[in-house]
Amino acid sequence: MLQQENLNKELVAAAMVPLVLSVLAQQENYGYEIIRQVRELSGGKLDLAEGTLYPVLRKLEQRGLVESFWQTAPNDRQRKYYRLKEQGRNALATERTNWNLVNQLLQHLWMPNPSLT
Amino acid sequence: MDAQPQFNLTAALQTWLSPFKKSGSFTDDELNELTSHLLDSMEALQAKELSEQEAFLIATQRLGPVDLLDQEFTKLNRPVLPRQEPVILLLGVLCFIGSRNLFETITGFVPVWLASYWGDTRITLLLDAGLCLATLLGLQLGGMRLIREGHWLGQNFFGRLKQRPVELTLLLGLLVGVSALGAYFAQHSFADFLTMTAQKQWVNQQFYHIHHICWLGFYLVWLLMFLQVVLPYATNQRLFVWLEQAPAGWLVVAGLCVFTCCLGLSIMGMRILAPENGIARFYISAGLASLLSSVVLAGSPRYTAFKRLLLSIAPLFVWYTIALSTALVYEERPSYLVLDWFPVKFFISALVGTLAGMWLGVLKQRNRVVA
């Protein structure tokens, strides 16, 4: 089986919103840390494009799914944190249903079919 | 290697940020966030034994080129949510009426007050004209700060709009009401004042003209603000950035507008300084208009220096051709447009203005690079 180094861009772009929402569901976080966590959890296979994360965060903010605030980090630098809002939790639940559906469908299709010859 | 100068992070950050600022698609808040990201990224890299300079280079590479980020951000960078647009429209109307009333109050009472001190002198006229211009300038600057999301005034305004839109609307409504009252009284006192100067046959009684031209300026300021707000919506570029890349036809039209504005303002000045012979206003306006045009175009990546020179003078040539053709048709005696070396003086002042503007433009560019 062909083992790919990284996932293709389209898939990463499609998964961006549920990934960001899921990371934020654990705790409030800032951009750099979100990317780092996703990279670490995927074993380095899923790398969110750094420049494209912020427009996505802003879009989520405009849709009222997350809210942002500046906070001073322990090293005395200002960081912009994002927090999931109630509406964001609902959106995440919907995303979860959808992705589960796709996942189940693919699993079903990929199962070896015993009835053939 | 040792001969290389010390890497300066602050300067490097400034250089890195400057094209982002120039593109006009990022708010200050977003730039702060990107900078903070860059510093975090550098910190992680430096922990892996990389030098500060190496970490900076890799971190900026990872964040991506300006073009890419610009594309991503312009797609969504709208300070206002769609459903708020009617509210914004209403606020815009209130701001217009409010500023109009305020302008009328100030320019109505001030000449009366000035005349009570200085009487029938040119000082009264000059002070009056100066104050009108200062009010216009204040209006323009205040307005621009208000619509810029990064400035505290704009942040305050939009923050309030988000949290308490009703309160903000009521506040503006109150301002409109109170300023309307002021404008009403100011208008009457100004009208009485004009009657008084006419009755007493004052020598310096051009207040009426000054104020009419100031009103012209007032509407032009609003037009400019309108352009500065609408253009980013339509083309995702700020006015000046757009001008630097605009096609030549648009630039000539814009140049004509600038020249007519300069002409209007210089008419006001000439009525006070030299009421008998105001021809000099054409030379002053030609110089000023071409100076402004060449300063604005100085950073243009699209046009060479020679083309910029031509573009700064072209609107004046267009204006002169139109003015001369109408003068030849309608005026029986020889027009002042051909007498007394008018065209030569006119275009020489334009050329001087353009060259001075280009020189200022070079200084501006240098500052931009240094910053």
- Point out the residue among B36, B44, B75 whose CB comes nearest to the CB of A55: B75
Per-residue pLDDT for B237 more than 80? no
CB B98 within 8 A of CB B179: yes
By C-alpha distance, the chain A residue nearest B84 is A62
Contacts of B209 (CB under 8 A, 6+ apart): B267, B268, B271
Phi, psi of A68 (to 5 degrees): -125, 155
pTM, entire model: 0.47
Place of tokens 């074993």: A43
**B166 CA: distance to closest CA in chain A (Å):** 20
Q: What is the pLDDT of residue A106?
A: 92
Gyration radius of chain A over CA positions: 17
Q: Do A55 and B76 touch (CB under 8 A)?
A: yes
Q: Which among A16, A39, A62, A71 is the top mutation candidate for probing chain B, defined by the most B β-carbons within 10 Å of its own β-carbon?
A: A62
Structure tokens given for A100: 């589960």
Q: Do A77 and B36 touch (CB under 8 A)?
A: yes
Phi, psi of A85 (to 5 degrees): -100, 175
The per-residue pLDDT for range B13-46, each reduced to its tens digit, is 888 888 887 766 777 788 888 888 888 888 888 8
User: The domain containing residue A72 runs over which residues?
Assistant: 9-110
Query: What DSSP character marks residue B259?
Result: H
Q: Which among A36, A54, A76, A87 is the top mutation candidate for probing chain B, defined by the most B β-carbons within 10 Å of its own β-carbon?
A: A54
Residue A68's SS3 state is strand
Q: Which among B13, B35, B37, B67 is the top mutation candidate for probing chain A, defined by the most A β-carbons within 10 Å of its own β-carbon?
A: B37
By C-alpha distance, the chain B residue nearest A81 is B33
Q: Do A32 and B40 touch (CB under 8 A)?
A: yes
ipTM of the complex: 0.84
Contacts of B73 (CB under 8 A, 6+ apart): A54, A55, A58, B25, B26, B30
Residues of chain B with C-beta less than 8 angstroms from the C-beta of A79: 36, 40
Q: Do B36 and A79 touch (CB under 8 A)?
A: yes
- Point out the residue among A33, A59, A79 whose CB comes nearest to the CB of B76: A59
Domain-embedded: residue A56: yes
**Helices assigned H by DSSP within A27-115:** 31-41, 50-62, 86-110
Per CB distance under 8 Å, which residues of B are interface residues toward A? Answer: 29-30, 32-34, 36-37, 39-41, 44, 62-64, 68-69, 72-73, 75-78, 81
Q: Do B32 and A62 touch (CB under 8 A)?
A: no
Chains A–B, number of C-beta pairs less than 8 Å apart? 51
The full DSSP string for B271-306 is HHH-SS--THHHHHHHHHHHHHHHHHHTT-SSS-HH
Domain-embedded: residue A101: yes
Domain-embedded: residue A49: yes
Structure tokens given for B278: 């105001």
Per-residue pLDDT for B2 more than 50? no
Q: What is the CATH number of the domain that holds A104?
A: 1.10.10.10
- Point out the residue among B33, B37, B81 whose CB comes nearest to the CB of A62: B81
CA A48 to each of CA A69, A78, B32, B273: distance values in angstroms, whole numbers, following the listed order:
22, 23, 20, 66
Domain-embedded: residue A4: no
- Point out the residue among B30, B41, B69 whose CB comes nearest to the CB of A32: B41
Average pLDDT for B112-129: 82
Q: Do B73 and A54 touch (CB under 8 A)?
A: yes
Domain-embedded: residue A117: no
A70 sits in which H/E element = strand A66-72
The per-residue pLDDT for range B251-295, each reduced to its tens digit, is 888 888 888 888 877 776 776 666 667 778 888 888 988 898 888
Contacts of B158 (CB under 8 A, 6+ apart): B79, B80, B149
| Residue A49 in contact with partner chain B when CB distance is under 8 A | yes
Position with higher pLDDT, B349 vs B122? B349
Domain-embedded: residue A116: no
> pLDDT-based confidence at B76, cuts 50/70/90?
low
Total structural domains in chain A? Answer: 1
Per-residue pLDDT for B238 more than 80? no
Q: What is the pLDDT of residue B159?
A: 72
Position with higher pLDDT, B189 vs B81? B189
**B280-286 long-range contacts, CB within 8 A, separation 24+:** B282/B342, B282/B346, B283/B345, B283/B346, B283/B349, B284/B349, B285/B259, B286/B259, B286/B316, B286/B346, B286/B347, B286/B349, B286/B350, B286/B353
Domain-embedded: residue A18: yes
Q: Do B63 and A79 touch (CB under 8 A)?
A: no
Residue B195 and residue B199: Cα distance in Å, rounded? 6
Q: Do B62 and A50 touch (CB under 8 A)?
A: yes
> pLDDT-based confidence at A103, cuts 50/70/90?
very high
CB-hemisphere CA count at 13 Å for B266?
A: 19
Domain-embedded: residue A2: no
